[in-house]
Amino acid sequence: MRTALFSFLVLLGSCATHESHEATLKSVLADKFHIGTALNSWHIAGRDSMAHEVITRHFDAIVAENCMKSMYLQPREGEFRFREADAFVRFGEEHHMHVTGHCLIWHSQLPHWFLTDDEGNDVSPEVLRQRMKSHISTVVGRYKGRIKGWDVVNEAIMEDGSYRRSKFYEILGEEFIPLAFQYAHEADPDAELYYNDYNMYFPGKREAVCRLVGELKARGLRIDAVGMQGHVDMRHPSLEEFEASINAFTDAGVKVMITEFDMSALPSPWQSANLSDTLSYEQRMNPYTDGLPEAVDAEWNERMMQYFQLFLAHADDITRVTLWGVTDATSWKNDFPVRGRTDYPLLFDRHYQPKAVVQQLINTAR
Ligand code: XIL
């Protein structure tokens, strides 16, 4: 009897270990939405084996943090460099992941030649249209059938709802957006197409993006989802503001993707201007170089969980939630919007360990 009981307990123990081994973010979220992460060059090159373990264990969707931006894909006109992007797409295929292409038309990380002629003057609308078309059809065409969806246009609208005064806008006017969607669709009719932006909780921006979705649809152009980047911090935006935008985009007739989620644990420079003492300013802006105090860590985990609860509540409309990076160590937030800080924005810490919220999320979703 004692041996039977002992064997039973051992079996129970191994089941429990087995189960906690199996319960991963992607397994418990499988029937809710894709859970993704952004891969940097080291991840793609296979030079970060610990990160590789986290990526393949917990995530079923990937996006490239940098290598598919136009300055890397086409540094000079007609000179395409696909090595890293090819490896990135292969990675996704090998691990059966939802692969997002980021991004086709963006004012940033854009090579200079794109907008200027040999004398350095702005190109004509005809030339810009031709360059956009050539870039989009070459890139989208190369990965036809292998990339699930594209961030076609990134960050074209301002918080007040006006168009960003980018060169694309100055040269082509509002038309550059439908053109980009048209070119992308022509290059891969089966690919999903997204409009992607940050600070989507501003009412002006929210309304303008809804109008844009309506206009694209009215012209018969394909748009599948609005990507809400979601670079949030400990105070902004409120869950209510964020949710209002999820609802608005859903009502506009598209799916929602949370495309670049992270939550800075640090004070935001936008909220504290005009500090005369630079040293104390710098210390105040980078307060946790030796680790996150327990209370702040608890607050961070709680707010992160609240965000995921919001995403789960809208799982019918949200098709993917992607974190902008794998661990805190390599997050872009360590250098943005202030360089050289120690931030704590992601689900895995500097030692590749899951934060408390990961287990909590697994328990809740299960
Ligand atoms: C960031 C990358 O994370 C950084 O490595 C790079 O230096 C700058 O771009 N919005 C976007 C992303 O759409 O492409 C940006 O990624 C972050 C803000």
pLDDT, tens only, 105-155: 999 999 999 999 999 999 999 999 999 999 999 999 999 999 999 999 999
Per-residue confidence (pLDDT) for residue 310, from 0 to 100: 98
Ligand 1 atom nearest 40 alpha carbon? 5
Whether residue 70 has its Cβ less than 6 Å from ligand 1: no
- Over residues 185-240, the pLDDT tens digits come to 999 999 999 999 999 999 999 999 999 999 999 999 999 999 999 999 999 999 99
**Average pLDDT, stretch 258-267?**
98
User: For residue 16, what pLDDT band results from cuts at 50, 70 and 90?
Assistant: very low
Tokens read off for 12: 């129970």
Per-residue confidence (pLDDT) for residue 282, from 0 to 100: 82
Pocket test for ligand 1, best of 259, 336, 346 (most atoms within 8 A of CB): 336
Q: Tell me the angle at which helices 294-313 and 239-251 cross, rounded to the nearest 10 degrees.
A: 20
Average pLDDT, the chain: 94
155 is known as an active-site residue = yes
Gap from CA of 69 to ligand 1 centroid (Å) = 10
Per-residue confidence (pLDDT) for residue 283, from 0 to 100: 87
Gap from CA of 16 to ligand 1 centroid (Å) = 40
The answer to whether 308 and 357 are in contact (CB under 8 A) is yes
Three-state SS string over 183-206 comes to HHHHHCCCCEEEEEECCCCCHHHH
Other beta carbons within 10 angstroms of residue 257's beta carbon come to 30
Per-residue confidence (pLDDT) for residue 280, from 0 to 100: 76
Tell the burial category of 15 from Cβ atoms under 10 Å away from its Cβ (0-12, 13-18, 19+). Answer: exposed
Would you say the C-alpha torsion 286, 292, 296, 300 has a positive or negative sign? positive
Whether residue 229 has its Cβ less than 6 Å from ligand 1: yes
The answer to whether 257 and 194 are in contact (CB under 8 A) is yes
Side chain identity at 310, as an amino acid letter? L
Per-residue confidence (pLDDT) for residue 293, from 0 to 100: 98
Full set of structural domains in the chain with CATH: 24-365 (3.20.20.80)
Q: Rounded CA gap, 63 and 102, in Å? A: 7
- Over residues 82-110, the pLDDT tens digits come to 999 999 999 999 999 999 999 999 999 99
Q: Rounded CA gap, 141 and 135, in Å? A: 10
Pocket test for ligand 1, best of 66, 258, 334, 339 (most atoms within 8 A of CB): 66
The answer to whether 132 and 176 are in contact (CB under 8 A) is yes
Mapped onto helix, strand or coil, the DSSP state of residue 244 is: helix
Identify the weakest region by mean pLDDT among 149-163, 186-200, 269-283: 269-283
Nearest-CA residue for ligand 1 atom 5 is 332
260 is known as an active-site residue = yes
Residues in Cβ contact with 301 at an 8 Å cutoff, skipping those fewer than 6 apart: 355, 356, 357, 360
The answer to whether 181 and 226 are in contact (CB under 8 A) is no
End-to-end CA gap in the chain: 35
Q: Rounded CA gap, 211 and 249, in Å? A: 10
Gap from CA of 346 to ligand 1 centroid (Å) = 15
The answer to whether 269 and 338 are in contact (CB under 8 A) is yes
Parallel/antiparallel/unpaired status of strands 98-105 and 149-154: parallel
- Over residues 24-50, the pLDDT tens digits come to 999 999 999 999 999 999 999 999 999
268: number of CA atoms within 13 Å, CB side? 12
Q: Looking at the predicted structure, is the pLDDT value of residue 2 above 90?
A: no
Gap from CA of 324 to ligand 1 centroid (Å) = 9
Q: Look at the block and give the residue holding tokens 């202030």.
A: 338
93, 155, 186, 215: which is the annotated catalytic residue?
Answer: 155
User: For residue 275, what pLDDT band results from cuts at 50, 70 and 90?
Assistant: low
65, 84, 192, 260: which is the annotated catalytic residue?
Answer: 260
Q: Which strand (E) or helix (H) includes residue 34? A: strand 34-39
Residues in Cβ contact with 175 at an 8 Å cutoff, skipping those fewer than 6 apart: none
Q: Computed over its alpha carbons, how large is the radius of gyration of the chain?
A: 22
More confident position, 116 or 273: 116
- Over residues 305-341, the pLDDT tens digits come to 999 999 999 999 999 999 999 999 999 999 999 999 9
The answer to whether 197 and 191 are in contact (CB under 8 A) is no
Gap from CA of 11 to ligand 1 centroid (Å) = 47
Per-residue confidence (pLDDT) for residue 272, from 0 to 100: 58
The answer to whether 53 and 10 are in contact (CB under 8 A) is no
Other beta carbons within 10 angstroms of residue 72's beta carbon come to 19
